[in-house]
Amino acid sequence: MASGPSPVSRTQLLRWQFDLTWSLFEYHLERLEPSDFLWEPVPHCWTLHRSADGTWEPDWAETEPDPVPVPTIAWISWHIGWWWSVTLDHMHGRQPRKRTDIIWPGRGAPTVRWLRGLRTEWQTVLDGLTDTDLDATASFPWPGDPAYTVAHTVAWVNTELLKNATEIGQLRLLRAAS
C-alpha cells in the first residue's frame, strides 16, 4: 500500500521557503560585478556615499519621500543587511543595533560575503526553531503585538528577502542590457 508524503512541520516549510528564496537570490549574487552596485539607472536614486572616515553611508529619510527614489544595488544590499542584522539581534535576544550601526562593506565580493554570512546565521536560527517556538509573540518587527508571532517574523524575512532579491535582479538585468 502506497502512502502519501510525510507531513511537513511549519518550521520545515518556512525553511524550504527561505532556501527557495535564497536560491533565486544567489542566481543574481554570483553574477554581480563591483560596478553594478553604484549604478544609478535614473537621476532620482538612493545610494551610498563615502563619509569623511571612509565608511559608506546610505541615503535616508525619516519619512518616505514622494516620489520614492529608485534604490541602487548598493542601497538595497545595505538595506538587506540592516533589517536582517536587526532581526537576527532580536531572534538571538541581543540588543538590536541602530540603523546607523549597520555598515555596508563596499562594492562586490565584500557585500556578497556579508549577505552570505547573514544567510548562514539565519539558517542557524531557523534550524533551532521548533513549531512551538514559532507560536511565541514576535519581538520584531511588531514588538509587543500578540497578534504577530515568530512565525510571522520568519515569513516576513522570507518575503522581504524575495522582494529585495527581485529588485537587485531587475537592476542587474537592466544594467547589463544598457
CB 112 within 8 A of CB 29: yes
Q: Which 3-state string (H, E, C) describes 36-99? A: HCCCCCCCCEECEEECCCCCEEECCCCCCCCCCCEECHHHHHHHHHHHHHHHHHHHCCCCCCCH
* Mean pLDDT computed over 143-158: 92
pLDDT reading at 5 higher than 90: no
The reported pTM is 0.94
Cell numbers at residue 108, please? 562586490
- The pLDDT tens digits of the residues spanning 44-64 come to 999 999 999 999 999 999 999
Q: Rounded to an integer, what distance in angstroms lies between the CA atom of residue 79 and that of residue 64?
A: 14
Using pLDDT thresholds of 50, 70 and 90, give the confidence band for residue 142: confident
Q: Rounded to an integer, what distance in angstroms lies between the CA atom of residue 76 and that of residue 45?
A: 11
